[in-house]
Structure formats: C-alpha cells, structure tokens
C-alpha cells in the first residue's frame, strides 16, 4: 500500500515535470523572433543620411563588391544568396533600413548570412544600404521600361 502510493506520486511528479518542460520549450519557440515569423521586423524606420549621396554610394558599392557580391551577386542581383534589389525582403516586411542594419551587422542565425558587425561599422552599413537602394531603384526603372505598354 505504501509502495503503491509512492510510485503513483513519483509518476505524477515526472509527468508534471515533462509537461512543464514541453511548455517551457513552446514558450521559447513562440518568443524567438526569427523562428516564429520571418516576415516581422520593426514598424518604424531610421533615416539613412547616405541615400542619394553619390560619394557614399560609391563607397557602399566598393564594400558590397568586396564583402557581399560573392553571395548576393554583382549589383546585389542574387547568386547563392538572395537578390537584394527587388525592393522586398524576407526578413523585413516593410523593407526598413533599421531591419537591414540589424540583418547585416547581426547576421541571420543558422544560415550562410553571417554577422558583419565586426567587419563594417554603422556608417559603412548604411552606405551599403544606400547602394542597395540605388540598385533597387535602377532595377525598378529598367523593369518599368521593359514592361509592355498597355
Ligand atoms: C557567405 C554568403 C553570404 C555573404 C558573404 C553575405 N550574405 Fe547576405 N545572405 C546570405 C544568404 C544565404 C541569405 C538568405 C538567408 C535565408 O533567408 O535563409 C542572406 C540574406 C541577406 C539579407 C536578407 C534578405 C531578405 O530577403 O530578407 C540581407 C539584407 C543580406 N543578406 C545582406 C548582405 C550584405 C549587405 C552582405 C555584405 C556585407 C551580405 N549579405 C553578405 C548569404 C551571404
């Protein structure tokens, strides 16, 4: 009688423990921003003072060619890494500069996209983004010209 009630108690405790663990894991998954939903990102953006600044964009172009084109293709058109000039981003629903800064400096966990925060500083990252914006605008212009007139 004594033994029976102890083993029942033990089983109950371990079941409760398993449940608590499973619940804990679920909470961690739900709170993990990248795993829970790719298309999130912030709602408010920061100003990129280098957009439209020819000298800064040229600097961004050189940095991009050196650090990013290997995966993202010449002009960011895409290679083994995704194209960055479609004006749409998987990891930023609103294509925000602030999201791109954190992607570039912090990387994307468990992908080939590494963190460049030690290689490029904040201003350099903004210059690369200014270059990406310019290439995006160029691409949109070319595609608009090529679209059949209706
Ligand atoms: C070793 C290859 C590699 C290099 C070098 C690299 N990337 Fe990436 N990058 C990737 C891959 C792969 C992804 C896609 C990750 C995914 O969605 O699974 C990515 C994703 C991104 C994204 C998000 C795209 C989206 O649609 O949300 C941005 C922005 C980006 N990279 C910018 C850069 C910039 C800027 C550089 C240079 C400083 C750079 N990357 C260098 C491989 C690379």
Pocket test residue of 57, 72, 99 for ligand 1, highest count of atoms within 8 A of CB = 72
Q: Please, how many CA atoms are within 13 Å of residue 64, restricted to the half-sphere of its CB?
A: 27
Residue nearest to atom 19 of ligand 1 (CA): 113
Q: Which two tokens mark 40? A: 């999130």
What does the pLDDT read at residue 39? 56
> Considering only CA atoms, which residue is closest to atom 7 of ligand 1?
113
Measured in Å, residue 109 CA sits from the centre of ligand 1 at 11
CA of 70, closest atom in ligand 1: 5
Q: Which range (29-33, 92-96, 119-123, 132-136) has the least confidence?
A: 29-33
Query: 26-70 pLDDT, tens per residue?
Result: 666 566 654 444 556 778 899 999 999 999 999 999 999 999 999
pLDDT at residue 107, rounded to an integer: 98
> In 3-state terms, what secondary structure has residue 92?
strand
Residues 129/59, Cβ–Cβ less than 8 Å:
no
Please state the domain extents for the chain. 2-31, 54-146
Residues 85, 135: Cα–Cα separation, whole Å:
6
Which atom of ligand 1 is closest in space to residue 132's alpha carbon? 35
Residue at token pair 């004594």:
2
Which pLDDT belongs to residue 36? 42
Q: By CB neighbour count within 10 A (0-12 exposed, 13-18 middle, 19+ buried), where does 22 fall? A: exposed
Q: State mean pLDDT over 120-144.
A: 97
**pLDDT, mean of residues 70-88:** 97
Contact 107 CB / ligand 1 (< 6 Å): no
CA distances from 83 to 2, 75, 90 (A): 69, 9, 11
Kindly report the protein residue whose alpha carbon is nearest to atom 34 of ligand 1: 68
Task: Return the pLDDT at 88.
Answer: 97
Angle (CA) 120 89 141, round 5°: 95
The CATH number of 54-146, from 3.20.20.140, 1.10.760.10, 1.10.3720.10, 1.25.50.10, is 1.10.760.10
For residue 89, list its beta bridge partners.
92
């Amino acid at each position: 009688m004594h033994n029976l009630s102890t083993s029942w108690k033990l089983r109950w405790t371990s079941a409760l423990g398993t449940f608590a663990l499973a619940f804990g894991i679920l909470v961690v998954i739900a709170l993990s921003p990248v795993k829970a939903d790719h298309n999130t990102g912030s709602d408010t953006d920061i100003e990129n003072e280098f957009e439209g600044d020819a000298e800064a964009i040229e600097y961004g172009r050189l940095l991009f060619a050196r650090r990013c084109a290997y995966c993202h293709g010449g002009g960011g058109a895409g290679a083994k890494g995704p194209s960055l000039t479609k004006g749409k981003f998987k990891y930023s629903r609103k294509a925000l500069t602030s999201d791109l800064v954190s992607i570039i400096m912090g990387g994307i966990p468990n992908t080939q996209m590494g963190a460049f925060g030690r290689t490029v500083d904040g201003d350099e990252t903004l210059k690369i983004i200014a270059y990406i914006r310019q290439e995006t605008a160029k691409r949109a212009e070319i595609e608009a010209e090529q679209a059949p007139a209706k």
